Amino acid sequence: MGAERINKRSFEDLNADVVRVGLCTSCGTCVGVCATKAIEMNYALDEPLPRLVGKCTSCGACYDICPGKDVPLRDMDRFFFGRERDEEKDPVGIFKSCYRGWSTDPYVKATSSSGGVVTGLCNFALENDIVDAVIMAGWSKDEPARCRPIIATSPEEVAEAARSAMVIVPNNALLAEAVLREKHARVGVVGLPCHVHGLRKLQMKGQPKKLAASVKFVIGLFCASTYYWEGVRHLVREFSDIRDMDEVVRLDYRGGQWPGGMYAVTKDAKVHFIASKHDYTWHFLGAGTFKRDRCLMCTDFAAELADVSCGDIFQPVKPGDRRIVATVTRTDVGEDLVRKAQEAGYIQVESHDPMLIPTSGLGWESKKHAGMYRLIQRREFGWPTPDYQYEPKVVPLDRRLTFPS
């Protein structure tokens, strides 16, 4: 690891090879590892993209950890799990245990995305001296309808950030801020698979040393896609009386009963229902049309490199209760976190069949089938594609896809 050649590439190289050819996932890791604070996320086109705002010393740190252009899954599998995956036998990646779980705190369970396991794990880690802070997606103080990365140091901040936002939030951009400037020596990170890829590249490289050593756990969320902010704006405008997003003081993507839906609160304290997660409107306008382009080339659904990966369960596995979280532990760190959080009474988990994960919703299909196929097609034309080290291959599961009503 330490003997690896250190690339001396600059931000301009990163910009040319990743950002300007549409391979940037907007994970923020380049911003988060820049010691001189030379890079920031810019929202000129409403989507976060890194840009140079200071002096680049060409240290190569941002280029080396960037998961936009390449994610060496084969090396990562060996490094973190001790073996390479079998694409047919490991459809949700390599893992230790597969559970389903929920927060034991009724408030957390009721106000979470899927059952509050992520919130429960973060609260356990903060209150039991495992980490000093958790980097996660939260609400922007300046633009209340939008999400931004936050450094949470208390259960109150974790609770405020609960529930999924269907947009990309460059969580990893806060790494240096949390570790070097706020001096949190031990941090946890909650992120989507692309955030996890950046963090794992950082940990595998071991450089920048202090940042790599500070990441104590990574909780990954299953991810079918994130959507352009323009798509969110479109949904709000087309399906409510709200004409100006500046009127919105709170946007909730998973409000109400599970699976939840989009609600907006305006300055006059009025609550507007926009679309249920299971509505045609959500899927047609949100999920289909406005998927971010880089997400269409992403093949990781179940956060395959995280310590713990969490997602929804669309099958009714417990009569009368739909707020249950698929919880996959992949490393000793993840298994330990889940086990100890259960022992301490923060979450409750029980065994879950891992084969229920690929059949839960359309996420797995969109990555392992559609995403893989798209990569093969794009390569045919020589268009830019991320390099996942494994040749893209469609491996359909031997089963009939059915949806519960």
Which residues have C-beta within 8 Å of that of residue 201, sequence separation ≥ 6? 29, 64, 65, 66, 67, 71, 72, 76
Give residue 264's identity as a one-letter amino acid code: A
Site string for ligand SF4, 218-257 (x = CB under 6 A): -----x-xx-------------------------------
Q: Is 194 in the site for ligand SF4 (CB under 6 A)?
A: yes
Which residues have C-beta within 8 Å of that of residue 321, sequence separation ≥ 6? 102
Whether a cis peptide bond, with omega within 30° of 0, leads into 319 is no
CB of 390 to ligand FAD, least distance (A): 21
| C-alpha Rg value of the chain to the nearest Å | 20
Is residue 137 within 8 Å of residue 165, measured between CB atoms?
Answer: yes
Burial of 45 (0-12, 13-18, 19+ CB in 10 A): exposed
Q: Which does 56 bind (CB under 5 to 8 A by kind): ligand SF4, ligand FAD, none?
A: none
Q: Is 329 in the site for ligand FAD (CB under 6 A)?
A: no
Query: What's the longest Cα–Cα distance across the chain?
Result: 60
In the region spanning residues 117 to 146, those forming contacts with ligand FAD, defined by CB under 6 A, are 117-119, 136-138
Nearer to ligand SF4, 113 or 226 (CB): 226
Site string for ligand SF4, 80-109 (x = CB under 6 A): ------------------------------
CB of 163 to ligand FAD, least distance (A): 5
Nearer to ligand FAD, 240 or 360 (CB): 360
Among 242, 295, 341, 375, binds ligand SF4 (CB under 6 A): 295
Q: Is 24 in the site for ligand SF4 (CB under 6 A)?
A: yes
3-state SS string for 207-253: CCHHHHHHEEEEEEECCCCCECHHHHHHHHHHHCCCCCHHHEEEEEE
Measuring CA to CA, which residue among 204, 148, 154, 206 is closest to residue 172?
148
Measuring CA to CA, which residue among 25, 379, 360, 61 is closest to residue 208?
61
Q: Is 111 in the site for ligand SF4 (CB under 6 A)?
A: no
Q: Is 361 in the site for ligand FAD (CB under 6 A)?
A: yes
Q: Is 223 in the site for ligand FAD (CB under 6 A)?
A: yes
Give the C-alpha distances (Å, rounded to integers) separating 136 from 90, 177, 191, 312, 383. 28, 13, 7, 18, 33
- Per DSSP, what are the bridge partners of residue 103? 347
Quick one: which H or E segment has residue 341?
Answer: helix 332-343
Nearer to ligand SF4, 130 or 190 (CB): 190
Among 23, 165, 212, 274, binds ligand FAD (CB under 6 A): 165
In the region spanning residues 331 to 350, those forming contacts with ligand FAD, defined by CB under 6 A, are none
Nearer to ligand FAD, 96 or 322 (CB): 322
Q: Which residues bind ligand SF4 (CB under 6 A)?
A: 14, 18-19, 24-30, 50, 66-68, 168, 192-194, 198, 223, 225-226, 292, 294-295, 298, 300
Q: Which residues bind ligand FAD (CB under 6 A)?
A: 112-119, 136-138, 161-167, 169, 171, 190-192, 221-224, 226, 310-312, 325, 360-361, 363
